[in-house]
Amino acid sequence: MPIRPTYPGVYVEEIPSGVHPIVGVSTSVAAFVDFFPRGPINKATQITNFGDFQRIFGGLDKRSEASYAIQQFYLNGGQLAWVVRVNSDKMKMVSASYTLGSTLKVTAANPGTWAGGSSGNSPNSVQVAIDKNTPDPSDQFNLAVREVATVNGKKKVVSSEIYRNLTMTKNNARYAVNVVNASSALIALTDLNTGTGSVELPSRTSTTIEDVIASSVVNDSATDAYKSLTGGDDGDLFDSDGQLKSDRFTIFSEALTGDQKENTGIYALDNIAPFHFNILCIPATANLGNEDYLSTYKKAIPFCEDKRAVVLVDIPTIIDTVEKLMDSNFQGTLDQLRINPNAATYFPRLHIADPLNENRPRNVGPSGTLAGIYARTDATRGVWKAPAGTDAALVGADLPLKLTDQVNGNLNSLGINVLRNFPIFSTVSWGARTLDGADMKASEWKYIPVRRTALFIEQSLYEGLKWVVFEPNAEPLWAQIRLNVSAFMQSLFRQGAFQGQSRKDAYLVKCDSETTTQNDINNGIVNIVVGFAPLKPAEFVIIQLQQMAGQIQV
């Protein structure tokens, strides 16, 4: 506001600079959607390392393709990831439970056998104990919760929770249901009191041990003071060998894609705002039948286009030779997935050492490994550098199939990226095309780094220009927009993100009366034109060699 002088003297006025710095968004946050043995249901959970994944979702599991993909993601340079554990009524997963008398029902925080199976002799279980060692035993009790797991053949307490001086009086600050349900990662309580006025406390779980919350008792896995939850079930999707049953393909596919209205499956990622993800991996689709494989990716690819992310499409498990890959039926399947340029695929699948099977090779999809390479390349070189070449070495993975240059060329022309093994450089990513990058399509989004750079700029401008909304739509606003967007693009140019020797050759930012007409102003619209000259990878290196004739001297 202008200063209104009221007395003789010196006045100081601060003038806004119009600077609203635009910060580049992250480019390599991965999202994994699959079955996991434990963890929150249909809720995207952020993890920062594989230890987080083990603690929250149970670690490696032979039924979960994504558990191995997440391990590979972090081995190859990944940093941030979102994990969604899917479930549906048709999957028939059940939470373990235990009833403390007629007062409290204890239910595992989420379904599965991790908290206790159908029999009381489960290798892993959640256990609870009650004592009355409180200031007022007639109205208060202590609750101890612990998780017991089998580690190296021995049962061990791996985590515990203690809740002191709880009560069953609903209007009390220490009401057991409210206190436990608000903070426990292991259980949830249900009050079984009838509400007739009389409040019954749960009985002690041990007649011989008065203090069940003492550390010596809590950490004693053999004590009988603790009662195990039972009845947990992982559903009936998988057989005893951990293989997905063929008659459950459609059920699992529907669980993976989920329901947009209920924010389940992949749509659980809608709830992570203001955060976002850049790379989606659904490796379990490789085990589905062809129709369900197509159905899953046909929903995932448009979803990622809306989120300005890319999908790494895993080749089906049964496609293990070049002949099967080039079969017209499977090529027809891939053609149906060329919906937009926000997808890429790699061949062949990978072999990794499986710790759950004495480190024997396990066939896995490459999506998790490549997501890690994307993250590593972004961190060291920038999103505009192709995640391929001799620097893009695959850590902890080997190839079951060695491909020749001729086969590489044939697949490259179809937009299928190839994984190769070279002496010295070992196993590397040797392709940088989107699924839209087949030669016959002549797409402007042929290359992965070009597409991902555009998505990066779009998302950064989308988040960095929200201050523009409801500002007066006139030249002062347009000048501020040009100033801030140009500063952002110039910073990328100085990092080497664009072609050209000068900024005029590298990018343009236009926002004036030519882009925003009076009719646009009347309709509340401001148009901003941003262009950039992308860096495209040197896919073919041609060396011309000529023999020089000897000089004749006279």
Taking only the tens place, the pLDDT of each residue in 285-338 is 999 999 999 999 999 999 999 999 999 999 999 999 999 999 999 999 999 999
For the cut 80, the answer to whether the pLDDT of residue 196 exceeds it is: no
- Check pLDDT > 70 for residue 99: yes
DSSP conformational letter for 348: S
Distance CA 371, CA 71 (A): 11
Q: Would you place residue 1 in the very low, low, confident or very high pLDDT band (cuts 50, 70, 90)? A: low
% residues pLDDT > 90 (the chain): 79
Residue 318 vs residues 300, 321, 349, 528: alpha-carbon distances, Å: 21, 9, 10, 48
pLDDT at 553 exceeding the cut of 80: no
Beta strands 310-314; 343-347: pairing state? parallel
pLDDT in tens, 30-78: 999 999 999 999 999 999 999 999 999 999 999 999 999 999 999 999 9
Structure confidence by residue, pLDDT tens digits, 200-258: 888 888 888 888 888 888 888 888 889 999 999 999 999 999 999 999 999 999 999 99
In our burial notation (b when 16+ CB lie closer than 10 A, e otherwise), range 484-507 reads bbbebbeebbeeebbeeeeeeebb
Give the pLDDT band of residue 198 (cuts 50, 70, 90).
Answer: low
Task: Identify the structural domains of the chain with CATH numbers, from first to last.
Answer: 30-89+243-450 (3.40.50.11780), 94-228 (no CATH), 472-554 (no CATH)
Read off the pLDDT of residues 345-384 as tens digits, 9 standing for 90 and up: 999 999 999 999 999 999 999 999 999 999 999 999 999 9
pLDDT at residue 119 above 90?
no
CA distance 341 to 311: 10
Under a CB-based contact definition with an 8 Å cutoff, are residues 451 and 443 in contact?
no
pLDDT, tens digit (0-9, with 9 covering 90-100), for 73-86: 999 999 999 999 99
Q: Give the closest residue to 466 by CA, choosing from 18, 22, 26, 24.
A: 22
Distance CA 350, CA 394 (A): 10
pLDDT at 529: 96
Q: Which pLDDT score is estimated for 121?
A: 58
Per-residue pLDDT band at 197 (split at 50, 70, 90): low
pLDDT exceeds 80 at position 404 = yes
